[in-house]
Amino acid sequence: MIVQMLKRVRPLNAALVMGLIALGGVGLTTRTLPPAAQAAVPKAAVPVPLPAATRPAPAALVAAINALGGGFQGKVGIAVRSIDEGWVVGHAMDQRMPQQSVSKLWVALTTMNAIDEGKLSLTTPVTITRSDLTLFHQPIAYLMKDGVFRTTVGDLLRRALTLSDNTANDKLLNLAGGPVAVRDFIASRGLGNIRFGPGERLLQAKTAGLPWKQEYSQGNAFAQARARLDPNVRRAAYQAYVADPPDGAGAGAIADALARLRHGMLLTPQSTSWLLDTMSHTRTGRARLRAALPAGWSVAHKTGTGQDLGGRTAGFNDVGILTAPDGKSYAVAVMIGDTARPVPERQQLIQTVVSAIVAMHG
C-alpha cells in the first residue's frame, strides 16, 4: 500500500522508492530525543524527557519517509514521532526550515502558560485598533467598527490558531510579553531546535527587503511597496531568509514539542485540553495533513505558508497530532522550506506522509 501511495507523488523515482523500501530504510536517521536545552533563568519546571521508545521505528515507514523527503524537489524536513511508543523517523529533521505561521503555536503556548500562571485568562478583555493591524491574512481587520474591535484573549487564540490571523497573533504576542517571552518559554521547556522571530511585521518586511512601516498594514500597501523594489534587492532578501530563517525550526524538534504537549508536559491539563481542542478546529490547510485522513482519524494542527518569489515559496508547512480510531497518536511535522514545485505537489507530499502513517498503523 505504501509503495502505491509513493508512486503517486511526483516527481519521485519509483525505482528509488522501491529500492529504499527493500533496504528497510538504510540511510535514514532515527533518533531519540536530544538532551533538553536549559533556559538561563528557568521560569518553569526542569524539562522532563519524553518516554523512551518501546520498539524500533517500523522499517516500512522509515523507508517511505526517506523516499518522500529525498525524492521531493526542494528543501524539506519531515518528522514522525509515535506518542505512544516513542520511536521517531524523519528526513532532514534537524535542518531548520522557515516556520512562518507554524510559529503561532509557540505564541499560543506562551499565552496559555501565562493563563496557567494567573497573569491572563481566556476571558481577559482585549481591544484591537488600527495600530494593531499587521499584514497579509488578518480577517479580524474586517470586523472593526470605527477602527475598533473588542474581544477576549480566548477569541484571539482561536482566531490565531484556526484562522491563522496575523493581527490576532501579534496582539497575543504583545500581551504575553513579546518575542523574548516566547523564546524564554521555548528554552524553559527544553524544546531545542526552534527559533522564534521578531513578530509578523518585522519578519515579513525583512523577508521582502523592506523596512516596516505601519502604513503597510492598510489594504494592499505592503504588496505595492514590495512590487516597487529593485528585483535584486528582493531576491537577495528572500535568499537570505531561506538560508538562515530567524523563525527556523527543525521538523524533529517540532514533533517532539507536539508530543510533549500531548503528554501534558508543557501546560496544565485544562490548558492542554483546551489548546488541542482548538487546534482540532483549524480551518487552514484543508489540502494538507487533514486531506489524507480516513474516517475515524482526527488531527489537531497548525499550518504555515511563506512569501512567494518567482514561483518559489519560503515555507509551506503543516504540523500536528494525528489520532487513530484506537486512540494511538503521532506527532507529525512536514516543513517544506523552499521549493518551486506546484502547490498540488507540495500538498501531495504532505498527504502522502499521512497516508504512510495510516498504512503503517493498520
Is residue 55 in some structural domain?
A: yes
Q: Are residues 62 and 146 in the same domain?
A: no
Distance between CA 175 and CA 130 in Å, rounded?
A: 17
Helix spans in 8-152 (H): 14-22, 59-71, 104-116
**pLDDT for residue 66:** 97
Q: Tell me if 360 sits within 8 A of 91, measured CB to CB.
A: no
Task: Kindly state the DSSP code that residue 94 receives in the 8-state scheme.
Answer: T
Cell reading at 93: 529533521
Distance between CA 37 and CA 187 in Å, rounded?
A: 6
Is residue 264 in some structural domain?
A: yes
The residue-averaged pLDDT of 261-289 equals 97
Cell reading at 158: 482561536
Mean pLDDT of the chain: 90
Domain containing residue 230: CATH number: 3.40.710.10
Is residue 121 in some structural domain?
A: yes
Tens-place pLDDT, residues 43-56: 444 567 899 999 99
**pLDDT for residue 39:** 34
The residue-averaged pLDDT of 177-205 equals 96
Residue located via cell numbers 516596516: 212
Q: Are residues 258 and 349 in the same domain?
A: yes
- pLDDT > 70 fraction of the chain, expressed in percent and rounded: 87
Q: Are residues 66 and 111 in the same domain?
A: no
Is residue 117 in some structural domain?
A: yes
How far from 136 is each of 195, 221, 245, CA to CA, in Å? 22, 10, 19
How far from 144 is each of 109, 151, 152, 172, CA to CA, in Å? 26, 11, 14, 17
Q: How far is CA 196 from the centre of its chain?
A: 12
Residue 68: give the domain boundaries: 2-98+250-273+285-295+306-314+323-361
Cell reading at 330: 503521532
Class of residue 322 by CB neighbours under 10 A (exposed 0-12, middle 13-18, buried 19+): buried
Q: Are residues 45 and 69 in the same domain?
A: yes
How does residue 18 score in pLDDT terms, banded at 50, 70 and 90? very low
DSSP string, 182-210: HHHHHHHTT--SB---S-HHHHHHHHHT-
pLDDT greater than 50 at residue 17 = no
Distance between CA 349 and CA 297 in Å, rounded?
A: 19
Q: How many residues does the chain have?
A: 362
Q: Are residues 82 and 120 in the same domain?
A: no
Return the amino acid letter for 112: M
Is residue 168 in some structural domain?
A: yes
**pLDDT for residue 46:** 57
Q: Are residues 35 and 86 in the same domain?
A: yes
Q: Largest alpha-carbon pair distance within the chain? A: 64
- Is the bond preceding 58 in cis, omega lying within 30 degrees of 0? no
Expressed in percent and rounded to 5, the helix, strand and coil fractions of the chain are 45, 15, 40
Return the amino acid letter for 121: S
How does residue 35 score in pLDDT terms, banded at 50, 70 and 90? very low
Q: Are residues 230 and 118 in the same domain?
A: yes
Among the ranges given (36-50, 173-187, 330-344), the one the predictor scored with the smallest mean pLDDT: 36-50
Q: Are residues 67 and 114 in the same domain?
A: no
Q: How many structural domains are present in the chain?
A: 2
Tens-place pLDDT, residues 220-259: 999 999 999 999 999 999 999 999 999 999 999 999 999 9
**pLDDT for residue 49:** 87
The residue-averaged pLDDT of 50-65 equals 95
Tens-place pLDDT, residues 91-114: 999 999 999 999 999 999 999 999
Query: Among 307, 150, 130, 306, which residue's Cα sits nearest to residue 218?
Result: 130
How far from 139 is each of 30, 144, 160, 214, 220, CA to CA, in Å? 41, 10, 10, 17, 14
Q: Are residues 216 and 117 in the same domain?
A: yes
The residue-averaged pLDDT of 5-23 equals 41
Render the burial of 287-303: b for 16+ CB within 10 Å, e for the rest: ebbbbbbeeebebbbbb
Q: Are residues 128 and 41 in the same domain?
A: no
Helix spans in the chain (H): 2-7, 14-22, 59-71, 104-116, 153-162, 166-176, 178-188, 200-208, 221-227, 231-243, 251-262, 269-279, 343-361
Q: Are residues 93 and 114 in the same domain?
A: no
Q: Is 286 helix (H, G, I), strand (E, B) or coil?
A: coil
pLDDT greater than 50 at residue 16 = no
Q: Are residues 122 and 152 in the same domain?
A: yes
Is residue 52 in some structural domain?
A: yes
Angle at 113 between CA 171 and CA 45, to 5 degrees: 145
Is residue 300 in some structural domain?
A: no
- Model confidence, pTM: 0.89
**pLDDT for residue 37:** 32
Is residue 278 in some structural domain?
A: no
